[in-house]
Amino acid sequence: MTGSTAIKKISSFATVSASLLKSIAVPTWNVLSHDFSNVILPEKCLSISIEQSGFSIAYVKKIFSRFKVAAIKKYPIETANSDPEFLASSAAFFANEFGADKTAVTLSIPKSWVITKIVEFPSSIKEDIPSVISYEMDRITPFDSSDALYDFKIIEEINGKIKILLAATRNQVLKPYLDALSNKGIIVQKVTINSSAVDSIIRHAVRQTSNLYLEISDRGYEGALFTYSYPIAFFGSEFKDTEDKHRLTQIVDDIRHFIEQNKKNGISPEIYILFKNKSLNIKENLRLMLNMPFRTLNEIDLKISFAMTKDEISYSAVGAAIETLWQKSNGFNLFSKGQVVIPRKPLVLTIILLIVLSSIGILYAVAPLYIENQRIEEIDRQIAARKEEVRKVEALKKEIEVLNKDIALIKDFKNGRQMSLNFIKEFTSIAPKNTWLTRMRITEKTVEIEGYASSATELMPKLETSKLFQKVEFASPTFRDARMNSDRFNIRMEIEGLEKKQDLGNKNEKE
């Protein structure tokens, strides 16, 4: 066996070993650094839902990603909104009765208590959205940030704009309930919205990309439109009429409005309805008037275990608990004020991983070093035997370096300044149709244009937003040409990014 053949075999062995090590280490890191506590360890949540018909309390457990409603109770409206002390006493008695003491507590409130609004900001604020919303709170809502509980969801980001759905409520609205619960030793950790909570149940059960949920009671209705677990809109109203026909017309108009409004975005939601009015006529008449398929919540398999019948449950109370315990939920937490807490990875598993990787590294440390020494010795022998070839290679390397420098110099010259055609094309794309030029002068640093426009002042902001121009200003006063019914303008502007390119070129020259 020749030395070259031996080197090839040793090199092949090292390559295979490195590939094998990588194929083992990467999946091991992903597995051991993953937090399995939320899958393996049991979790529980006590949820309180304030509804139009009263309030409900639910105790939900999660074991191996399976949910079980251990207990639930409903309380009448006569005592729901009038006395926070009664709600707190009921919650404390419930927790003691079913062994839910020291359990995470979530409060779910009606949509009527919350203001939801879609707002737009420049995409540049994406890294600091909570601070921006806090600063703008008194402008976009009736509240100021110190007196508001709020959360937001990013709906979409397009054309340099970021669209956000903001949900906010006044702190003073919830304070009597939070204080009463706190006095009973019940600390609320999360505040969500009933519609959002029920959507978590629906998505857990059917995993649809888009859902429209509607809850209908004797007093009114409320609902929400969700797509890919993100809320798009909330809606709802009290009934303005006592006749079922007029009530159904009001509901149908709202549903059709939101569906038609989002059809252009390719959103076709499945409709889910909860009838709190037990009349079958309302359900059948709504099906006829809406002329769209819908399902009621008691018709779907919720994939949740219940210690009672479905008719006895409160979907908003159960949904609030599931929204808290289910990692894939994307519900609101008005306590958060938009701040997202990133959970820490388990330290024990990370230490185990480091020990395993260190052991593997030690096992593979000796062989690669020996192989590398052998390869270096063989290379030295080959170089000594072929010095002439080495000299030719070095000469070729130097020629390549010279050619690369020449190529880089040509590219720098080419990219160092914009082509005049680019400026003409840019101006054509942003200028109004009733604008024309009589003269354009392009220098290394500036562009001057003269011409006519229906309004010269309207042309300035368009030029300022261009990616090619900066420091746009009038070079001389504009005047109105009565004969042409247009403003004659003379505008000077600097070429965008020229200083950066010059600084970069100077840096390259120094290097």
364-374 pLDDT per residue, tens: 666 677 787 78
Q: pLDDT tens digit string along 451-490?
A: 888 887 888 888 888 888 888 888 888 888 878 888 888 8
pLDDT(348) > 70:
no
Please tell me the predicted confidence (pLDDT) of residue 49: 93
User: Using the 8-state DSSP alphabet, how is residue 84 labeled?
Assistant: H
Output the pLDDT for position 302. 85
Instruction: Tell me what pLDDT residue 319 has.
Output: 92
Residue 208's CB is within 10 A of a number of other CB atoms, namely 15
* 4: pLDDT strictly greater than 70: no
pLDDT digits (tens, 9 = 90+) for 239-298: 877 787 888 888 888 888 888 887 777 778 888 988 876 665 778 888 888 888 898 888
* Average pLDDT of span 51-58: 86
Residue where the block lists tokens 């003073």: 172
CA-based max dimension of the chain: 103
Q: Where is average pLDDT lowest: 112-121, 311-320, 376-385, 483-492?
A: 376-385
Contacts of 164 (CB under 8 A, 6+ apart): 118, 119, 120, 121, 129, 133, 152, 153, 154, 155
Calculate mean pLDDT across residues 52-59.
Answer: 87
Instruction: Using the structure block, give the residue that is written with the tokens 């990616």.
Output: 467
* Global pTM value: 0.60
pLDDT at residue 505 tops 70: no
Per-residue confidence band for 28, with pLDDT thresholds at 50, 70 and 90: low
For residue 79, pLDDT over 50 is answered with no
Residue 341 has pLDDT above 60, yes or no: no
Cα–Cα distances in Å, from 327 out to 31, 45, 65, 200, 284?
17, 14, 10, 11, 37
Q: What is the pLDDT of residue 80?
A: 44
Across the chain, what does the average pLDDT equal? 80
DSSP string, 161-224: EEEEEEEEEEHHHHHHHHHHHHHTT--EEEEEEHHHHHHHHHHHHH--SEEEEEEE-SSEEEEE
Contact 47, 58 (CB under 8 A): yes
Q: Measured between alpha carbons, how far is residue 361 from residues 22, 143, 357, 371 in Å?
A: 11, 58, 6, 16
CB-CB neighbours of 118 under 10 Å: 12
pLDDT > 90 fraction of the chain, expressed in percent and rounded: 14
